[in-house]
Amino acid sequence: MPPGFSSSDFYYLMPELVITAGALLVLALDVLLPRAWERVLSWVTVAVILGAGLALVPSAGQNLTIARDLVAIDGFATFFKVLFLVAAALTVLMSPRYLTLENVHPGEYYFLVLCATLGMMFMAGGVDLITLFIGLETMAVSFYVLTGIIRPNKRSNEAAIKYFVLGAFSLGLLLYGMSILYGLTGSTHLRVIATSLVAGDGGLLLPFAVMLLVAGIGFKIAAVPFHMWAPDVYEGAPTPITAFLSVGSKAASFAMLLRIFVAGLPAFRADGLGTAWGQPFGWGAFFYVLAVVTMTVGNLAALTQGNIKRLLAYSSIAHAGYILIGIVAGSTRGVSAALVYLMIYAFMQLGAFAVVVMLRRKDIIGDELKDLTGLYATHPGAAIAMLVFMLSLGGIPPTAGFMGKFWVFGAAIDAGYVWLAVIGVLNSAVSLYYYIRIVVFMWISEEEEKSAAFGISPAVATVLAVTLAMTVLLGIYPRLLFDFAQASAASLGSVPSLGLR
């Protein structure tokens, strides 16, 4: 056993270890199993994810750091790990038929999905800049490959290259920011950074570092003006990966954002970075501006999109803006509102993408709005599910999406950011226009060419059922989720060895 480690460290790292072992198992099975058994791989992957979920049970209610203080096992990490595992499982479930249609070899696909999940888990658990960065890299590299995995498809390849080049660039910015923080404090540990940094340290260097961190993470969460890659990549990537990217990668990046800023730089939220127009400001001001611009640009650009994946990409940009509102509010209530929003967003977004996956069939790519035409006539169940997802994304009660918005905007008003809430509500009013456009297409049907019915695979049907049930259930009875998120948000600032608020 390496020095500084104990057996309990491995006990708490069990979910990550299960995922790692499972990933290797999938690779091995891919080689060992005959071609005809390919389909088994998806079930093995789901089983691995479920196993990791079981291994997560001991972490519940814990609040400690392990592995030489590099990884935290707290409510915050557990919340996000649950989210990642759910998202990964649903992604895998909606994949098999899509992969067959696109002629993608499933072995490395599932391997990379598990690797990306592993990276996300360290992004949520890491309390050291190095851990966070390695988690981010693990996830990002997996996604670069997954985006371009449809080899003969130019859209897919182009998206991968773009994502890779821009991702590398943004990681450079992030790493630069991290290195300045290290230079100022002599440590990469968030606790040390939080306790040793005081306002005025390093002169302009500290605000400069914060700015680089905002830009680097802003790229990952696709906040305007760092969002340019998102529509292209979302459109080009295989649809299940688009779903996973817009949910998992985004949530993981938000987890990292919360770790670095709320746990690592708590003293600089409202002030301490200098003054602008006579007002002291902190990193909250950066996110304030990002939130406003992100929501507005995302929603306005989504209004006229004709491609569903592209439309959902802009919609996802806008949602990042709403989540940022919770972070600007900053209080435990704001952070827990952001967590609630992320979880709810995961279900409705994955559900919407599951419908798009369903539309992919032989000879039909199925990602244009007009491909939805007549869906209600041929697949009423899927159309009603999509209606609920759209209403939820638009924030209509009693769906879960309303809950998320209610808490985020409520937290903002509570913290005194009334105008931010006003802009948010205005944006969500605008957004409904394009969500309803999708609904309108589903309900229109040309009688002359009754679009042929096509089957829904049981796995995709399962995804639709789960996401639909959760979107409705979390709207009607959000209490458990809310309590979970609140406990998690509270644990963010209170890891004992971190010793900070």
- Give me the torsion for CA of 60, 66, 71, 74, rounded to 10°: 20
Residue 453 binds other proteins (CB under 8 A): no
**Among 28, 60, 199, 476, which residue sits at the site for other proteins (rule: CB under 8 A)?**
476
Q: To the nearest whole angstrom, how small is the minimum distance from the Cβ of residue 301 to other proteins?
A: 5
Distance of alpha carbon 360 from alpha carbon 362, whole angstroms: 7
Residue 214 binds other proteins (CB under 8 A): yes
Place of tokens 């913290």: 415
Q: Which amino acid, 303? A: L
Distance of alpha carbon 35 from alpha carbon 471, whole angstroms: 37
Distance of alpha carbon 447 from alpha carbon 39, whole angstroms: 37
Query: From the DSSP assignment, how many helices (H) and strands (E) are in the chain?
Result: 22, 4
**Closer residue to other proteins (CB): 83 or 421:** 421
Residue 465 binds other proteins (CB under 8 A): no
**Closer residue to other proteins (CB): 195 or 445:** 445
Q: To the nearest whole angstrom, how small is the minimum distance from the Cβ of residue 211 to other proteins?
A: 5
Q: Estimate the crossing angle of helix 129-147 against helix 250-257, to 10 degrees.
A: 160
Asked whether the beta carbons of 20 and 118 are under 8 A apart, the reply is yes
Residue 426 binds other proteins (CB under 8 A): yes
Residue 333 binds other proteins (CB under 8 A): yes
Query: Three-class SS string for 2-33?
Result: CCCCCHHHHHHCHHHHHHHHHHHHHHHHHHHC
Residue 307 binds other proteins (CB under 8 A): no
Q: To the nearest whole angstrom, how small is the minimum distance from the Cβ of residue 311 to other proteins?
A: 12
Q: Name which of residues 229 to 268 contact other proteins (CB under 8 A).
A: 229, 231-232
Q: Name which of residues 396 to 425 contact other proteins (CB under 8 A).
A: 396-398, 402-403, 406-407, 409-410, 413-414, 418, 421-422, 425
**Among 211, 364, 472, 473, which residue sits at the site for other proteins (rule: CB under 8 A)?**
211
Q: Name which of residues 59 to 98 contact other proteins (CB under 8 A).
A: none
Q: To the nearest whole angstrom, how small is the minimum distance from the Cβ of residue 405 to other proteins?
A: 8
**Closer residue to other proteins (CB): 64 or 161:** 161
**Closer residue to other proteins (CB): 34 or 278:** 278
Residue 175 binds other proteins (CB under 8 A): no
232 contacts: CB under 8 Å, gap ≥ 6: 158, 159, 162
Residue 21 binds other proteins (CB under 8 A): no
Residue 469 binds other proteins (CB under 8 A): no
* % helix, strand, coil for the chain, step of 5: 75, 5, 25
Query: Three-class SS string for 382-419?
Result: HHHHHHHHHHHHHCCCCCHHHHHHHHHHHHHHHCCCHH
365 contacts: CB under 8 Å, gap ≥ 6: 371
**Among 42, 65, 170, 491, which residue sits at the site for other proteins (rule: CB under 8 A)?**
170
Residue 35 binds other proteins (CB under 8 A): no
The 355-394 site mask, x for binding other proteins (CB under 8 A), equals ------------------------------------x---
Residue 165 binds other proteins (CB under 8 A): yes
Q: To the nearest whole angstrom, how small is the minimum distance from the Cβ of residue 179 to other proteins?
A: 16
Distance of alpha carbon 181 from alpha carbon 193, whole angstroms: 8
Number of residues this chain uses to bind other proteins (CB under 8 A): 75
